[in-house]
Amino acid sequence: MGETHSIEDRFQAFVEAENKVEPKHWMPDGYRKTLVRQISQHAHSEVVGMLPEANWITRAPSLRAKLILLAKVQDEAGHGLYLYSAAETLGTSRDEMIGDLLSGKAKYSSIFNCLARTPKEQTLRSY
Ligand SMILES: [Fe+2]
């Protein structure tokens, strides 16, 4: 008779064989939770990161500078939305992730808390 392997052992072997884990695959709860935490933290950082840039749009010294900032804000919003969508495929709603951010349970990259003195400094800081 062959050995009986637990579902956890089979998942571990699947990962160690460098197979691609998809959201609909069975995975340990902790593994799924870690993925959601990492992806949502990245999403939060993208969205929070666009806030200080957006703050400079009305104060940018030229229309060209305003357009650059608008494009950057739009780009970051897109990154955040894409990542929230990816996390949602793992079974956590966007509302829950945003709620965790607003309650302080979820984190984001604190580099975005540093205020810039000029729109140029803000743009350079975000790269
Ligand atoms: Fe981004």
pLDDT tens per residue, range 37-48: 999 999 999 999
pLDDT band with cut points at 50, 70 and 90 for residue 55: confident
Own/partner long-range contacts of 94-101 (Cβ < 8 Å, ≥24 apart): 97/36, 97/40, 97/43, 97/44, 100/40, 101/40, 101/44
Mention every residue, 6+ apart, whose C-beta is less than 8 A from residue 11: 26, 27, 28, 31
Residue 72 Cα to ligand 1 midpoint, Å, equals: 8
- pTM exceeding the 0.85 threshold for the entire prediction: no
Whether the predicted pLDDT of 118 surpasses 90? no
Residue 24 Cα to ligand 1 midpoint, Å, equals: 26
pLDDT band with cut points at 50, 70 and 90 for residue 121: confident
Whether the predicted pLDDT of 102 surpasses 60? yes
Contact 122, 56 (CB under 8 A): yes
Contact 45, 109 (CB under 8 A): yes
Residue 54 Cα to ligand 1 midpoint, Å, equals: 14
pLDDT band with cut points at 50, 70 and 90 for residue 89: very high
Residue 110 Cα to ligand 1 midpoint, Å, equals: 14
Neighbours of ion ligand 1 (CB under 5 A): 46, 76, 79
Report the pLDDT averaged over residues 85-102.
97
Residue 45 Cα to ligand 1 midpoint, Å, equals: 8
For position 115, what pLDDT does the model report?
75
Whether the predicted pLDDT of 81 surpasses 60? yes
Residue 3 Cα to ligand 1 midpoint, Å, equals: 47
Residue 75 Cα to ligand 1 midpoint, Å, equals: 7
